[in-house]
Structure 1
Amino acid sequence: MAGLTTERWTAVSGAQRHAMQVRDAVERVRRPQDRIVLGNWADPALLADERYDTVLADYLLGAIEGFAPFYQHRLLARLRPLTGSRLYFIGLAPYVNQPADDPAARLVRQIGRYRDSCLLLSDDQPYREYPAEWVADHLEASGFKVLAAQRFPIRYKARFVNSQIDMCLPRLEGLADRNLARALRASGETLRQAALDHIAREGSISHGHDYVIAAEPA
């Protein structure tokens, strides 16, 4: 994004750590008029009365659960007055609560359920993904016209596996029930090894898809 020709840009994050990561990543090319804003989309004052030629919602729908639970049905209407010309909506097809009909699907679902269990036990909120069909319906109900949509198959590698298991480790350290923490850590390591073994055999864990939906104000 920072390499595109723009007059100015505004990046919004609900997490301070993520906002700092973005700041560090673009520091060399960031201009005085470019902004990184820490805020919550449920706050009506966030970007109030602002308008942008292009809005990029990058995995926003799934992440909103961690900052504004149950706000998903309002999110797209919230983006409508900000969008002057084009909205690009990037999402991840749900997999934690979906059928798993093959070894790859079962591994990805197990990893997601393990991660979410650890988050809930540590009083954190897991993400909640929505399918592209839900997004398209709510875009049209929120004053957008869907122009195009495309799916991109996912091939998970070791980086995904390790990041999902590793994010649970500090949370397990904080559990009061140490027997439960030890059992969950052992379960996570068993799951990690099974996933890495699958990647060693198959080259990746091929399951699910990301999607991109392009829309404009109706």
Structure 2
Amino acid sequence: SAAALVAASLLGSADHFTTSWEARCDRSCAASSRPKRGRSMRVRSGVLCPLLAVGSMAMAQAPKPKGDAIFDSIERMQARIGRPWGRFLDAGTGRHSLHWISTIETEAWTAVTAAQEMAVQSRDSVRGAMREQDRVVVGNWDDDTFLEGETFDVILADYLIGAMDGFSPYKQDLIFERLQRHLAEDGILYIVGLEPIPDSGAGAADVICEVRRMRDAMILLAGHRCYREYPIEWIYRQCRRSGFEVMESLKFPILYSRASITRQLDVGRRKLPLIRSRHGAATALALSQACDALQHRIDDATNFSKVSPSGVTADTRIRFGFDYVMVCQRSGRRGKDAEDVVKDAEDV
């Protein structure tokens, strides 16, 4: 069937090590000193939730994988849709996304960041691949005149909505209409996000939830804002309310390694000097000891201290949660009901 062919084309190279549940160190949308999340060492394998499957799309030749499961899937979606990349907008750029954009055949690209430092780093990351018509611009989507009158054939919102609470809180619902103003009539919007980590998990996965709580608590005690991810069904509702039609969505189950979980704990640890100055040495010491105890839990959950028969230290990966890609266009075709998208998310 057409749907089966679509699924097969997207699942080609399912497992890639990519980075996503990391401090946003190379994706700058935040004007604060908190880093924006980059991509951590996690395996992500694609699971298709087809919301629109057209035979001619499914028969399109899939582009050669480049090593990032999410960006590879976006290239396959665009190939099936059968439209050129044209003018491309990276609405919240960083080194990782910009490196990928520089490898696809765009007419021109515009990459947006709120931080001057990230603009410099982003330009440096694609030095030699940046053409005269390409640009990295510093701006904020809160500014109504930013990029006024400009439209793009493809817009990428790569973990942008989850980052907004760190630099533009309480306006996440407005970004959809804001981006629509810059999307060409037949343009495509790709939204990449992370399903929020719940308060608790079954078995070994619970340590991931505990690390998230500890990390966020330390961020808040340091006087910084946490990022806030949104579930796939919330994104779907906002897209529909803002005049978008969801064409399809794709989910990437996550396998957490000891290293990726520990990096999140380290995000909290790096706040200890600020916590000490704001709340005193005793509070900072207690939190440091709590982090050490949590590290032991991480090691136990991932079997890090155990040695395999081959003599190599074991490192069990924990499957928990998922990232997602949603592809949208302006309303005009019949989409799937919101309840179906919610069901798809629960089926992963």
TM-score over 0.5 (shorter chain)? yes
In structure 2, what is the Cα distance between the partners aligned to 1:162 and 1:32?
A: 41
| Cross-structure match for 1:104 | 204
CA offset digits 1:55-92 (Å, max 9, x no partner): 01000111001110100111111111112210000010
8 Å Cα contact 1:148-1:214 kept in structure 2: yes
The match for 2:283 among 176, 180, 191 is 180
| Cross-structure match for 2:231 | 131
| Cross-structure match for 2:190 | 88
- Displacement of 1:210 after TM fit? 0.5
| Cross-structure match for 1:72 | 172
Matching residue's letter, 1:121: L
8 Å Cα contact 1:65-1:126 kept in structure 2: yes
In structure 2, what is the Cα distance between the partners aligned to 1:180 and 1:21?
A: 35
Alignment RMSD, CA only? Answer: 1.7
Structure 2, unaligned runs of 5 or more: 1-100, 305-313, 332-348
In structure 2, what is the Cα distance between the partners aligned to 1:73 and 1:103?
A: 34
Percent identity between the aligned chains?
36
Q: What SS does the corresponding residue of 2:271 show, helix, strand or coil?
A: helix
In structure 1, what is the Cα distance between the partners aligned to 2:183 and 2:288?
A: 45
Q: What SS does the corresponding residue of 1:208 show, helix, strand or coil?
A: strand
In structure 2, what is the Cα distance between the partners aligned to 1:52 and 1:70?
A: 26
In structure 2, what is the Cα distance between the partners aligned to 1:91 and 1:58?
A: 7
8 Å Cα contact 1:104-1:206 kept in structure 2: no
Q: What SS does the corresponding residue of 2:238 show, helix, strand or coil?
A: helix
8 Å Cα contact 1:63-1:128 kept in structure 2: yes
Count of residues in correspondence between the two structures: 216
The structure carrying a bigger helix percent of its residues is 1
Confirm whether residue 25 of structure 1 aligns to residue 125 of structure 2: yes
Is the alpha carbon distance of 1:27 and 1:163 closer, same or farther for their aligned partners in structure 2, counting shifts above 3 Å?
farther
8 Å Cα contact 1:9-1:34 kept in structure 2: yes
CA offset digits 1:103-122 (Å, max 9, x no partner): 33311111111111111111
Is the alpha carbon distance of 1:165 and 1:17 closer, same or farther for their aligned partners in structure 2, counting shifts above 3 Å?
farther
Structure number with the bigger relative contact order (C-alpha 8 A, sep ≥ 6) is 1
In structure 2, what is the Cα distance between the partners aligned to 1:79 and 1:91?
A: 16
Confirm whether residue 115 of structure 1 aligns to residue 215 of structure 2: yes
Confirm whether residue 217 of structure 1 aligns to residue 330 of structure 2: yes
TM-score (structure 1 length as normaliser): 0.91
Is the alpha carbon distance of 1:163 and 1:90 closer, same or farther for their aligned partners in structure 2, counting shifts above 3 Å?
same
The match for 1:4 among 100, 104, 120 is 104
- Displacement of 1:151 after TM fit? 1.1
| Cross-structure match for 1:164 | 264
Structure number, greater radius of gyration: 2
Matching residue's letter, 1:148: E
In structure 2, what is the Cα distance between the partners aligned to 1:189 and 1:203?
A: 20
Structure 1, unaligned runs of 5 or more: none
- Displacement of 1:101 after TM fit? 3.6
8 Å Cα contact 1:65-1:128 kept in structure 2: yes
In structure 2, what is the Cα distance between the partners aligned to 1:163 and 1:19?
A: 25
Q: What SS does the corresponding residue of 1:22 show, helix, strand or coil?
A: helix
